[in-house]
């Protein structure tokens, strides 16, 4: 479809994005592991995109900063397209746009929970089971990574959380200042 445009998400799109996600995933979306992580803080609006048919949002993808141990990455999702616009390549194009934006912003990987046959051709590979854990039950066969920078997965091990919720240890110099206060 040549009359579909792709633009950075803005707050003006929020209502339609919420409708698309409700339609695509239903109320069960709130129980998912990835949703629990997203509850920890905001998504990266400058790395999130919508597809438009005219001025109507027909597809959406978001990226959220995450922490895994001492490593950092982006969590892709939700990715959703209105039913009447499915099977036109809109979702795949949104994923490619989001990954390209992540790369341009200096991120070295993007992670998601999704179907390997869909995401594999887009450069996503399965993460070894047990390397990364999530806060709720998840099918770890569907935990995938796109390494923007080769070897990025090596720096990611442990529990996944929203980056805003991650514990950041104080530098030794800050510990000395705190102790002397």
Prior bond of 5 cis (ω within 30°): no
Q: List, for residues 80-122, the tens digit of each pLDDT value.
A: 999 999 999 999 999 999 999 999 999 999 999 999 999 999 9
Q: What is the pLDDT of residue 134?
A: 94
To which residue do tokens 């995450």 refer?
A: 66
pLDDT tops 80 at residue 30:
no
Q: What is the pLDDT of residue 169?
A: 57
Helical (H) or strand (E) element with 150: none
Q: What is the pLDDT of residue 167?
A: 72
Q: What is the pLDDT of residue 170?
A: 47
For residue 46, give the CATH number of its domain: 3.40.630.30
Q: What is the pLDDT of residue 71?
A: 94
Looking at residues 54-80, what average pLDDT do you find?
Answer: 95
pLDDT tops 70 at residue 171:
no
* Closest by CA position to 60, among listed 28, 119, 102, 20: 20
Question: How many whole angstroms from its chain centre is CA 7?
Answer: 17
What does pTM read for this prediction? Answer: 0.89
Per-chain mean pLDDT for the chain? 90
Q: What is the pLDDT of residue 28?
A: 67
To which residue do tokens 């746009």 refer?
A: 97
Looking at residues 60-88, what average pLDDT do you find?
Answer: 95
Q: Tell me how crowded residue 143 is: count the other CB atoms within 10 A of its CB.
A: 23
Half-sphere exposure at residue 146, Cβ-oriented, CA atoms within 13 angstroms: 25
Domain containing residue 52: 4-180
Q: What is the pLDDT of residue 103?
A: 98
Q: How many domains does the chain have?
A: 1
Within 8 A by CB and 6+ apart from 112, the residues are 34, 75, 76, 77, 79, 119, 124, 143, 144
Q: List, for residues 110-157, the tens digit of each pLDDT value.
A: 999 999 999 999 999 999 999 999 998 899 999 999 999 999 999 999
Tell which wins on pLDDT, 20 or 170.
20
């Amino acid at each position: 479809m040549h009359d579909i445009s792709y633009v950075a998400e803005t707050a003006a799109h929020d209502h339609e994005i919420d409708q698309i996600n409700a339609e695509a995933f239903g109320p069960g979306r709130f129980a998912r592991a990835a949703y629990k992580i997203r509850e920890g803080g905001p998504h990266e609006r400058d790395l999130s995109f919508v597809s438009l048919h005219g001025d109507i949002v027909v597809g959406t993808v978001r990226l959220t900063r995450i922490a895994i141990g001492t490593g950092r990455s982006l969590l892709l999702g939700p990715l959703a397209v209105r039913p009447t616009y499915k099977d036109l390549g809109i979702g795949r194009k949104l994923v490619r746009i989001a990954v390209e934006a992540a790369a341009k912003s200096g991120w070295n990987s993007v992670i998601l929970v999704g179907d390997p046959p869909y995401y594999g051709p887009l450069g996503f590979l399965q993460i070894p089971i047990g390397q990364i854990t999530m806060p709720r039950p998840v099918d770890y066969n569907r935990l995938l990574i796109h390494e923007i920078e080769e070897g990025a997965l090596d720096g990611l091990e442990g529990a996944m959380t929203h980056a805003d919720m991650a514990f950041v240890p104080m530098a030794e110099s800050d510990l000395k200042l705190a102790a002397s206060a």
